[in-house]
């Protein structure tokens, strides 16, 4: 069957010429599905694969080993609302109108990811934190993950995601599913803080080494461990539903931790993220420091879906 496949290069982020990094074997009419996991208030350096020695993130680290790992992904504004508007529209904040969490300006003609992918035969749904309301097409709400990141004692279920994907497949549609995790957003009371003894926490150089800072990092790390468990469960669901061969899995950290020079700041620690893109047997496993931004992701999905001519400018 290999002889029936064409070998070509597909760019993971079209503005970068990233095609040179992702050699893929793709059937001529293949349109992959997409599952996107995005963390919350968790930056690029919170994982074992990015150097946090005390992190307990085996699922994310394993995914990194099997993915193209982008280590220099950035957001325009290190706050939740503008970051997600940038992600779901493919537009910079000045163009989509979401300038900050509390500052929005009206823009006309804004399209979201569903506006772009629905005409290409995709069902687009989201479970969990949305924090977004632009565009014309409705992004379907999928039950199972909490939508309020500020809540304690949150529980989640993949049943809604499984049902949504099953229905899309039954209807003959491709799908794009976003899992909007609420970890590691305040109040930092999920996971086991005891897994991270404050005396062994390695603080970043720009922190003042105090007991309060160490405890905050420990609490955050415990929440990141819960996020890692959700990544593991996502991959287990993909295997259960036999999705690995035709589904691209993307993991995104968000803007950084809500500590000095993190969230709300223009500094590297706040605006930098990682992106892991995995398509079993098709996207090469490697690491790149090529520059990219959240606004590159939707145009890339459109290209993979066969609608490159519909991409709008930044």
Within-domain flag for 23: no
Within-domain flag for 275: yes
Within-domain flag for 192: yes
How many distinct structural domains can be found in the chain?
1
Positive or negative torsion for Cα 275, 294, 78, 140: negative
- Spatial distance between the Cα atoms of 76 and 87, rounded to a whole number of angstroms: 10
CATH number at residue 302: 3.40.720.10
Q: Pick 2 or 298 by higher pLDDT.
A: 298
Whether the per-residue pLDDT at 22 is higher than 70: the answer is no
Within-domain flag for 6: no
Q: What is the domain range of residue 288?
A: 32-309
pLDDT attached to residue 30: 74
> What are the structure tokens assigned to 154, written together?
């949150």
* Secondary structure class of 249 (helix, strand, coil): strand
Within-domain flag for 172: yes
Within-domain flag for 27: no
**Per-residue model confidence as pLDDT tens digits over 33-84:** 999 999 999 999 999 999 999 999 999 999 999 999 999 999 999 999 999 9
Contact criterion met (CB below 8 Å) for 43 and 272: yes
pLDDT attached to residue 12: 52
**Per-residue model confidence as pLDDT tens digits over 212-231:** 999 999 999 999 999 999 99
Within-domain flag for 256: yes
Whether the per-residue pLDDT at 257 is higher than 80: the answer is yes
Q: Is the peptide bond before 75 cis (omega within 30 degrees of 0)?
A: no
Within-domain flag for 93: yes
- DSSP 8-class letter at 313: P
**Per-residue model confidence as pLDDT tens digits over 152-185:** 999 999 999 999 999 999 999 999 999 999 999 9
- Spatial distance between the Cα atoms of 16 and 36, rounded to a whole number of angstroms: 20
pTM, two decimals, is 0.91
């Amino acid at each position: 069957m290999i002889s029936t496949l064409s070998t070509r290069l597909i760019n993971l982020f079209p503005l970068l010429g990233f095609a040179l990094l992702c050699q893929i074997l793709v059937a001529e009419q293949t349109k992959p599905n997409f599952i996107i996991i995005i963390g919350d208030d968790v930056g690029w350096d919170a994982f074992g694969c990015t150097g946090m020695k005390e992190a307990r993130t085996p699922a994310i680290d394993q995914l990194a080993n099997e993915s193209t790992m982008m280590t220099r992904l950035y957001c325009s504004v290190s706050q939740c609302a503008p970051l997600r508007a940038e992600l779901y529209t493919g537009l910079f904040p000045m163009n989509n109108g979401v300038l900050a969490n509390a500052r929005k300006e009206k823009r006309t003609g804004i399209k979201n990811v569903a506006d772009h992918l629905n005409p290409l035969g995709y069902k687009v749904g989201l479970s969990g934190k949305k924090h977004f309301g632009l565009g014309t097409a409705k992004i379907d709400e999928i039950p199972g993950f909490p939508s309020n990141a500020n809540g304690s004692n949150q529980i989640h279920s993949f049943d809604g995601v499984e049902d949504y994907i099953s229905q899309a497949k039954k209807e003959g549609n491709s799908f794009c599913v976003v899992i909007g995790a609420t970890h590691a957003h305040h109040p930092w009371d999920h996971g086991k803080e005891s897994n991270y003894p404050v005396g062994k926490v390695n603080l970043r150089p720009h922190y003042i080494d105090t007991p309060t800072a160490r405890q905050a990092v420990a609490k955050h790390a415990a929440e990141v461990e819960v996020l890692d468990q959700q990544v593991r469960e996502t991959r287990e669901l993909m295997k259960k539903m036999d999705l690995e061969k035709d589904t691209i899995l993307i993991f995104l950290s968000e803007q950084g931790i809500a500590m000095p020079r993190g969230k709300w700041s223009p500094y590297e620690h706040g605006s930098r993220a990682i992106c892991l893109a995995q398509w079993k047997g098709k996207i090469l496993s490697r690491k790149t420091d090529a520059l990219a931004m959240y606004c590159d992701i939707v145009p890339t999905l459109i290209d993979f879906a066969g609608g490159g001519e519909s991409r709008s400018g930044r």
